[in-house]
Amino acid sequence: MPHTPVRDFMTSEVASVTIDTPLSEVARKMRDERLSCLLVMSDGTPQGIVTERDLTRLAANLLSGEAAGSLDDLMTSNLITFHEDEDCDDAVGVLHKHRIRRLVVVNDEGKTCGLITRADLLKGHSCKIERQRDGLEQRVRERTKELEALNSKLTELTITDPLLGVGNRRAMDQALEELYERTRRYKRPYSLALVDVDHFKLYNDHYGHQKGDEVLISIATTIKNTIRVTDSVYRFGGEEFLVLFPEVGAQGGMMAAEHIRQAIENLNIEHIHARRGFVTSSFGVAEENIKNPDQLHTISVADQALYAAKENGRNRVEKMPEADSPALKNAG
């Protein structure tokens, strides 16, 4: 439990008298100021304590004809003191052990710095419990935050391609399903592009698979940095990517794909077996049918467009063929 020193809960302004104070003045002071006790001090050091019980005993003695005596005779001199840095719970133990109601609190020099009672210690104990509760709640919040971060990281790992840092097929399927539902229910358009790295097998055969992985990482990063915040990119398989363009038709998808194609070309990655001498990419773009959405058919049409891009010389963007196009008829 947290440490709760008695100095945080003691009464620091303690009424006191000196050892030579007359008993009549002591009684008057306690009566007028309605005090339950008075410390008897000598140069800041506690010498004893006078309580209401002591005054009652004095009155009884006087009624019995006994002499009043002095303050030294009346006070309790074997004081039990307690250091201001000690814990409130320990002070409670001292009170119980000695069957007393209050403790004189002293500092390192033995000088009086306050007085603490059972009521004060009860406040201290309650404060300690409250601090402990707050500490536990804080740890629970921190642990919950850590678990949420771990869960978020685990979720990210399940939907992210570990090499390229883009969405994997699972993430792609989720995104396509969400766009499909949006199109089906609200007639919202979207288009997609299939991207293929041209002559990638030849690149791997000549430069090695490690260099091939570096090329894919560069291209994935380039696509992520080129598309809009609302767009997304996924590894479709091998050297192929799929890019989603929400709220964009075929024409807008063509423009976005061309922007990506140019950015990949501008990387100027050497490829001696490519016709242009550097790495290029081909794109096939298709728009979802708003009236009769079918994401699998849309991907198939984009694949046909990608095939056309390769047939027409690579490093180019082709869109979804028209309804009477042989490519579309073959796709069906």
Distance of alpha carbon 268 from the chain centroid: 42
Can you name the residues that pair with 117 across neighbouring β-strands? 102
| Annotated catalytic residue 239 | yes
Segments forming the whole domain that contains residue 315: 160-331
- Going 151 to 152 to 153 to 157, the CA torsion angle's sign is positive
The answer to whether residue 151 sits within a structural domain is no
Cα distance between residue 43 and residue 22, in whole Å: 18
Percent of the chain, pLDDT > 90? 50
Tell whether 171 and 295 lie within a shared domain.
Answer: yes
Tell whether 181 and 309 lie within a shared domain.
Answer: yes
Give the CATH number for residue 50. 3.10.580.10
Tell whether 84 and 208 lie within a shared domain.
Answer: no
Instruction: Check residue 248 and give its pLDDT.
Output: 94
Tell whether 175 and 323 lie within a shared domain.
Answer: yes
The answer to whether residue 303 sits within a structural domain is yes
Question: From the candidates 178, 214, 239, 287, which is the catalytic residue?
Answer: 239
| Domain total of the chain | 2
Structural contact between residues 221 and 193, judged by C-beta atoms closer than 8 angstroms: no
Per-residue CA distances from 132 to 93, 136, 256 (Å)? 20, 6, 57
- Going 317 to 321 to 325 to 327, the CA torsion angle's sign is positive
Residue-wise pLDDT for 247-291, tens only, equals: 999 999 999 999 999 999 999 999 999 989 999 999 999 999 998
Tell whether 113 and 165 lie within a shared domain.
Answer: no
pTM for the full model?
0.58
Tell whether 210 and 105 lie within a shared domain.
Answer: no
Tell whether 188 and 311 lie within a shared domain.
Answer: yes
Tell whether 120 and 190 lie within a shared domain.
Answer: no
The answer to whether residue 138 sits within a structural domain is no
Tell whether 166 and 103 lie within a shared domain.
Answer: no
- Say whether 223 sits in a helix, a strand or coil: helix
Give the CATH number for residue 184. 3.30.70.270
Instruction: Check residue 321 and give its pLDDT.
Output: 62
- Say whether 144 sits in a helix, a strand or coil: helix
Instruction: Check residue 313 and give its pLDDT.
Output: 95
Tell whether 112 and 209 lie within a shared domain.
Answer: no
Tell whether 120 and 173 lie within a shared domain.
Answer: no
Instruction: Give per-10-residue mean pLDDT for the chain (332 aa).
Output: 84 86 88 88 86 86 81 84 90 88 88 86 83 87 88 79 94 95 93 97 96 97 97 96 96 97 97 94 95 93 96 94 43 36
Cα distance between residue 318 and residue 167, in whole Å: 24
Tell whether 45 and 182 lie within a shared domain.
Answer: no
Residues 6+ away with beta carbon under 8 Å from 251? 319
